[in-house]
Structure 1
Amino acid sequence: MKAYSTIFRQKILETYESTPISQRQLANKFSVALSFIQKLLKQS
C-alpha cells in the first residue's frame, strides 16, 4: 500500500478544520478509509 503524501494529509486536515463535515463524509470525499481519517486527526 502506498503512503499518502504530506500535502494530501494537510489538505484533508485543512478541509476538516474549515468545513462543517463529519469524519465519515471526509473519508468519502477523499476516497480514504475512515480509520485513516481518525488516525490523522489524532496525530494532529
Structure 2
Amino acid sequence: MGSFINLNFFYIIYQFWSELAFIYWLPYLLQMFCSGLLDRLK
C-alpha cells in the first residue's frame, strides 16, 4: 500500500505542475498565434 500512496502523491504533483505549466504557457502560445495571424494578414 505504501508504494500505491507514493504513486498517487507523485500523480497529484504531476497534475498540479502540468496545469501550472499550461497556465504559464497559454498567454505565450496565444501571443505567438496572434503574431503569426497578423503576419499572414499583412
**Interval of TM-score (by shorter of Structure 1 and Structure 2):** 0.3 to 0.5
Highest relative contact order (Cα 8 Å, sep 6+), 1 or 2?
A: 1
More helix by share: 2
TM-score, length basis structure 2: 0.35
